[in-house]
Amino acid sequence: MPAMSDTNFIAVFLVGLLGGTHCVGMCGGIVAAVSMQLPGQGAQPVYHLAYNSGRVLSYALAGALAGAIGAGAFFLDSVLPVQQILYGLANVMLVLLGLYLAGLWSAVSQIERLGGLLWKQLQPWSKRLLPVRHPAQALALGMVWGWLPCGLVYSALISALASGSALSGSATMLAFGLGTLPNLLAMGFFARQLQTVTRNPWVRRTAGLLVAGYGAWGLARLLFG
């Protein structure tokens, strides 16, 4: 049985980075709304860092939970080939995410409906944290908004589920979260430069096909290795 390797971290990092347009669409409005209500322009980087740290922390916690669930399911291997199923599913999701990044598949957004019920319970908490008046409040707001329904996040969680442990699952989602940071942290001229690169169709297509190729390679190892 092939093991989940460090290459998965690179793949989910690329998904987070090249899926930046999707992330900005989901969270960009939130970041802009928070920015307009911050107490001082000079302190904005601290608040943005706190907000995004909270968001990535939520991803890591979700990854740890998914990894622990996956690890528990491995005990059923004597009954069902759970490890192979999860490994195969993770690589299928990498293929589909790669095709999404390459602009060849757009059904990721349909997965977001899965988190609608949970988000209805959490959304009122975000309203209580606005307007943001100190970094700890921004951190808490980011942790809440980290559970915003997002197809990219849920897809990456499949890899965390198949990682084999809570620690590996957390690391997988941490890699994904770090990939999303540049698009949401960067402001001004650097942000425009970064978006020029990440939105370039050739860059997105190349990176997407690399991610999809890695997923296909993992499936080949599972089927023929």
Cβ–Cβ under 8 Å, residues 202 and 18: no
Q: What are 55-109's pLDDT values in tens digits?
A: 999 999 999 999 998 887 766 655 557 777 877 887 888 888 788 778 887 766 6
Could you tell me which of 190, 195, 180 has the C-alpha nearest to residue 53?
180
Which of 189, 204, 113, 180 is closest to 151 using CA atoms? 113
- pTM (predicted TM-score): 0.78
In the DSSP assignment, the letter for residue 204 is: H
**pLDDT higher than threshold 80 for residue 136:** yes
pLDDT for 163 equals: 83
165-182: per-residue pLDDT in tens?
899 999 999 999 999 888
The CA distances from residue 114 to 3, 146, 184, 207, in Å, are 28, 15, 24, 27
44, 142 in Cβ contact below 8 A?
A: no
Between the CA of residue 169 and those of 134, 147, 177, what are the distances in Å?
Answer: 31, 16, 12
The total number of residues shown for the chain amounts to 225
